[in-house]
Amino acid sequence: MKIDIVSIFPTFFDVLDISLLGKARQNGVINLDVHDLRDFTFDRHRTVDDTPYGGGAGMVMKPEPWGLALDEILGITEGQAQDDQAKKPADQDAPAQTDADAATTAADGSIPPLVIFPSPAGDVFNQAMAKELAHEDHLVFGCGRYEGIDQRVFDYAEQHARVRLVSLGDYVLNGGEVATMAMIEAIGRLIPGVVGNPESLTEESHEDGLLEYPSYTKPSTWRGQEVPPVLLSGNHGAIEKWRYEQRVERTRRVRPDLLPPE
């Protein structure tokens, strides 16, 4: 899988050089590039933001640097970009483009990249979305900052690729980098060859809708607390039954919303 990240804090992603994802990059399972949005500015101060039209607090990210960054990453030629200028501006009342509409197949028949913009206004990320995105060939993460990105960047991106706004959850972060990191970790670990033992990806929380069972390891007695005897019994059927019951009980207690309707 090819992953591109655009951010004004590229060093934020240095942590992706270590651990499982670092190994996956070294052995070519994941090809990840981080782009500094300021490399697509040309003024002395490398400006990426400006005041919002219509007033309001804070600053908005300018469209020009984003347009150049997306052109480079998506392989949009100047001619194609000029064509867009000829197109009428996106009609705010027009029905939002679906992936099918926007997924114009590239000339070589490949499916265009999926551009993900973390946003408080996006679809909430979950394990089902992680599994779906793990099948993509090329993901591009656009990390906004300040009060967000000029809307025309999303509209422009939709003319050349599939675009999704994705929320990490119902809380407001300061930018898209933390959300991008979380999504890359959740998606990356599902890509074959990234996690050593694929069996460890089953029976996880959210994998099949139930939370995970409690885990134990040596010593069998610790500070007066015992490991549940069934786990020391060697009776694999009884262990499997106990673990399933623990998953249902924990889900009922902590996340009853995940339980299938009775």
Ligand X SMILES: Nc1cc(-c2ccc3ccn(Cc4ccc(CN5CCCCC5)cc4)c3c2)n[nH]1
Q: How far apart are the first and last CA of the chain?
A: 40
Q: Is 246 in the site for ligand X (CB under 6 A)?
A: no
Q: Any binding-site annotation on 21?
A: no
Binding mask 38-77 for ligand X (x = CB under 6 A): ------------------x---------------------
Contact in structure between 167 and 141 (CB atoms under 8 Å): no
Cβ count within 10 A of residue 69: 23
Q: Any binding-site annotation on 178?
A: no
Q: Is 145 in the site for ligand X (CB under 6 A)?
A: yes
Contacts with ligand X by CB under 6 A: the residue count is 18
The answer for residues whose C-beta is within 8 angstroms of residue 59's C-beta and 6 or more apart is: 49, 50, 51, 52, 146, 147
Q: Which residues of 204-237 are buried (b: 16+ CB within 10 A; e: fewer)?
A: ebbeeebbebeeeeeeeeeeeeeeeeebeeeeee
19: left (phi over 0), alpha (psi -120 to 50) or beta: left
Contact in structure between 161 and 113 (CB atoms under 8 Å): yes
Site for ligand X in 211-230 (CB under 6 A): none
Instruction: Give the nearest distance from C-beta 195 to ligand X in angstroms.
Output: 25
Instruction: Give the nearest distance from C-beta 143 to ligand X in angstroms.
Output: 7
Per CB under 6 A, the segment of 16-24, 172-180, 190-198, 233-241 that binds ligand X is: 172-180
Q: Is 147 in the site for ligand X (CB under 6 A)?
A: yes
Cβ count within 10 A of residue 9: 14
Q: Is 148 in the site for ligand X (CB under 6 A)?
A: yes
Q: Is 119 in the site for ligand X (CB under 6 A)?
A: yes
Q: Which runs of consecutive H residues, i.e. helices, occur in 148-258?
A: 151-158, 177-188, 236-254
Q: Which is nearer to ligand X, 56 or 228 (CB)?
A: 56
Q: Which is nearer to ligand X, 141 or 213 (CB)?
A: 141
Residues in contact with ligand X by CB under 6 A are 56, 118-120, 144-145, 147-148, 167-169, 171-176, 179
- Annotated binding residues for S-adenosyl-L-methionine, written as ranges, equal 144, 168-173
Binding-site annotation: residue ranges: 144, 168-173
